[in-house]
Structure 1
Amino acid sequence: MVAASRWFLAALAALCALTSVAIPDAALATPITVNLRVEGSTRTLFEGNVTTSPETIQTASSGGAHPCNYAENGPSGGFVPGGSQSGTPTTALHDAALATGLSFDAEWFGSGAENGNPGDFFVSRVGNDVNQTEAPFDSWGYAVNFTTASVGGCQIALAPGNEVLWAYNYFNLSHLLSAAGPVSVNAGTPFTVHVADGHTGEAIAGAAVEEAVSGVPSPIAGSSHSDANGDSTVVLNQPGVVTLKATRADSVRSNGLVVCVHAGSDGTCGSTLPAPAASGGPIAGGPVSDVARIAGIRSGRVYSRRFAPRVLSGKVQVPPGGTLRDVRIRLERRHAGRCFFFSGSRVRFVRTRRCRPAPFFSVGGSQSFSYLLPARLPRGRYVYDIEAISADGTATKLVDGVSHVVFRVR
């Protein structure tokens, strides 16, 4: 990536040569959901799904509002009009920063399409990590599907499911680490985590596999660094859900590997409880807890438009003998006598002819989740529900203030 650093400076200068493009109507673009990971200098700042679309962005250093849209900023490689409107790596990062309260700044290079130079943003700050103007020039860079991009972050058209990585000191680091291993382990039993270069697949030796607590990697007692085959032996002694990250001083830390730790056959993490003596057979995955819990939004609260929720999150406690199959949410809105529901497939609010309970949509099978909405909620009265589905199809109950909250945005 050192060579990439030299190229990157040249590429920035080349932005001035971009040809002009027509400005399309970004409202026609369909929002897409990608997996975004933001690796700061000392911790992971964000890791999860983000729904994004073309945007006009203004920052403290941008000198005004400018488009960030593949159609308006040019495609990868050609510096010519991009064509179709699309969310980009920069809009995904910008959306996550706004939703989570991270500081965000980006400089604009270009004088505008009307002057023959559409330009692009150069991300200069995320959180507390700011680009440096002196050697070794620590700065932000990005990759899509573990491949270093050769153009600016508004010039890549993202597709649903893409893996987008933004990392600080990106161009001075040698590898984009990837970690793979089991999703369920027995407490105290050694298991293997494989560490590789996410782009080349090359096994990486000398990487530490650590537990990420609030995004900060911490050493795990009794665990080894990865060997020549990229394999690290890890031991987790306490039951629960743990996020692991591979780290090495000359590399971007890895994706989070979420591991569920069970204590023998305790019924958690997909393990099966021993059968009662009278039954003569094993107990299949039973129900999850009676109630799923919404996090971050309080029932009865009134939010201003500026501070309206954008992240929907929650947790499900899976008791011994329980097996979680799916977690589903729904969000209803009423405003000016009209009713809407948020569609998980269309990634937007849809108006309904009759005011009735909205359909649920899946947010995966994890015990905790965060779902990033495309934008902050507009004015209205909202009902947010969460339910968990067990292996036998049983759904948790809706309980006021716990799995069923009502709030307003004014």
Structure 2
Amino acid sequence: MQALVYTFIAFASLGIGGTAYFGLTFTPLESIMLATVFGCVAVVLVERSLRQRAETRLERGIEDLSRLLSTDAQAGAVLGQRINALADVDAGRRLEGVEADISVLGTVIRQVAEAVAELEERTKKANAAAGGRPTTYTTAIAPPPPPRDPEPTIPLEMLRQAVDDNRLIYHIQPVVTLPQRRPFGYDLVPRLMLEDGDLADKIDFMPRQKGDDVVRHIEGIALVEAVTIGRRARTGGQPINLFIPLSRATLGQTDSAEQLLVTIEANRAIAPGMTFLINETDWLNLTTGERAVADAMAKKGVGFSLANVKSLRLDVAELAAQSVRSLRVDAGRFLQEPAVYTDFQPSDIANYLGRFNVDLMATGISSESQILDLLDDGITLVQGNHIAAPGPVRPDLVIERPRTQANARRAEVQ
């Protein structure tokens, strides 16, 4: 590159000399002198530029080298401090102390074993002298079985007839965030209109053992209600979160599961606001086919919430991977017996679940003191009749189902 520059300088000098001789009528000697002076000046300027560039590069290299030397010096100082700290540690003395403690502990254990053996020998001799039977000891007492849910007061046939008569309605109960108590979502709560116009709650009519066909029908109605409410709320510019009841009766039946997936696929726009509420026992006992249906639902954007959670000693990471968004515990039992649910401190469990984007929700709120205690434990999602009881949905968000003559007469009376 440098040779090319000098070549250009030489050609330029010859050009200037030729121009001076032919164009400016310089003598040959003057033209040669002018070309030589121009070439020398150009060479000097080029060399000066190259020298400055080389000096700048050298200074940068020296700065980088000094910086590296400084870093190495700091690393050497840190390494020296660590070596000095290790040199000051008397590992031998510490090991001797540990060995002495282990020896003492072994002696104590041996003495305890000898005392227990002697006590058992004396007990056997005393029982033999008294002619009695040897004493036996039990190490644990089996815990009492959990109480079973009471059977519904409304017979199955009466429920089936009421559903056929379109006397099943859905109310909503809000889930609020503390301390502002702003609505976070709404549970769809099934209620049954009786002959006298009263409303029966879910616990009074929902089948426990049989009647899977009725349960599927009820949950199908809930899905239709949720889709209607979700779509109309989204159209009105106020999207909401809905918790929709679901059970193994729907997941385990081929036709109902396919209809469920088709409905979710057709309403993917509101799928993020749809969370299916399923009992923890049902969730843990899902078969392979039912689990496949739940996974297919999760891939379409919906989530799950586990109700009636008996213990929080669960694989939370696995639940989060299965699109479980929240776990519901009874507020009264959680506050009175937190050790039944978890080995964590009550104030830490909500933060632990939050690391996996799983919310802890307290249900069955019955007093203000419970709300204050839950706030102290960091639980901000609550629900209960003390906060808001189930109520009807706004008329503009639901569909008007056809009524039977009996329903029409009750409407006229009301």
Q: What is the TM-score of this pair, normalised by structure 2? A: 0.24
- Higher helix share goes to which structure? 2
Q: What is the TM-score of this pair, normalised by structure 1? A: 0.24
Greater C-alpha Rg = 2
